[in-house]
Amino acid sequence: MSRLSYGHRVELHSNSAAKALLSLMERKKTNLCVSVDVTSKASFLTIIDAVGPDVCLVKTHIDIIEDFDQDLITKLQELSAKHDFLIFEDRKFADIGNTVALQYSQGVHKIASWAHITNAHPVPGPGIIAGLGSVGHPLGRGLLLLSEMSTKGNLATGLYTESAVEMARQNRDFVIGFIAMSRDSLHQKEKDDSEDFLILTPGVGLDTYGDTMGQQYKTPYEVVFNRGCDVIIVGRGIYGDGKNIDISSVQTQAKRFRQEGWNAYLKRIDG
């Protein structure tokens, strides 16, 4: 499955967010998602405008923005239209269905109203998909399950990962794929040729192997070519520590990761 082009895989999905993302990657020729983990509205929007031409997806942690307001969402949507990228709120929902439905739709951030894609930990069981789906599915949103994590010592392995894949298989209209470190968990159990999940992979770097808090980095080549993942998620590798942002360096790094990710993908589909 991972040898098919992004464009060919559009038809294998019924979910509109999955279709939109695959079409966009094919059209724009990028599998780079930038994770914009900065805390001020100004830096957030500046980085997104700078990397916008090179990304298929912008990943947000909207709850870390100190001066969040509705205007930030309006501006984020304007940048999404200007540069042609989708928005992924990395909310990592992890509660019972009823609670996550409220967290997804209500409160200050009203995530479902602007994020094309969000994600959830499978730990509560299928009720979390039912809760999020009751809000997101009618809006054409897509959900990713965290079936694996990038950090040292994480517990999302073995049976946990396999169970996450099974939960996704029961909900393919809304669960479009996984946050995972490789395609292996799917290959072993792939049931039929029409099954296609997106694999989005964080913990991607080119110049460092990790941080002091358990993060572990792999190269875009390792992730996309060797491990069959679809989207590389890069944060600090592009904008450093988020202080004193140097826009030309942010743009240079974004282009560098984009090129590495795309070349690895071309080599993969070339077989």
Residues found near ligand S5P in the complex (CB under 6 A): 35, 37, 61, 90, 149-151, 179, 202-203, 215, 233-237
Q: Closest approach of Cβ 151 to ligand S5P, in Å?
A: 6
End-to-end alpha-carbon separation of the chain, Å?
A: 11
Q: How many CB atoms lie within 10 A of CB 67?
A: 11
- Both structure tokens of 76: 């984020």
State how beta strands 57-60 and 231-234 pair: unpaired
Q: Closest approach of Cβ 269 to ligand S5P, in Å?
A: 25
Q: Which residue number is nearest to ligand S5P in terms of Cβ? A: 235
Annotation-wise, does 192 bind a ligand? Answer: no
Nearer to ligand S5P among residue 10 and residue 178 (C-beta):
178
Nearer to ligand S5P among residue 10 and residue 132 (C-beta):
132
Annotation-wise, does 29 bind a ligand? Answer: no
Annotation-wise, does 235 bind a ligand? Answer: yes
Nearer to ligand S5P among residue 61 and residue 110 (C-beta):
61
Q: Closest approach of Cβ 114 to ligand S5P, in Å?
A: 18
Annotation-wise, does 103 bind a ligand? Answer: no
Q: Closest approach of Cβ 168 to ligand S5P, in Å?
A: 16
Nearer to ligand S5P among residue 2 and residue 150 (C-beta):
150
26's enclosing H/E stretch is: helix 16-28
For residue 39, what are the CA distances in angstroms to 51, 64, 107, 131? 17, 5, 19, 29
74's enclosing H/E stretch is: helix 70-83
For residue 242, what are the CA distances in angstroms to 77, 104, 183, 245, 257? 22, 27, 31, 6, 17
Which active-site residues does the annotation give?
90, 92, 95
- Does residue 162 sit in helix, strand or coil? helix
Annotation-wise, does 236 bind a ligand? Answer: yes
> Which of 260, 244, 266, 262 shows the shortest CA–CA distance to 46?
244
What single-letter DSSP state applies at residue 73? H
Known binding-site residues for substrate equal 37, 59, 150, 215, 235-236
Binding residues: 37, 59, 150, 215, 235-236
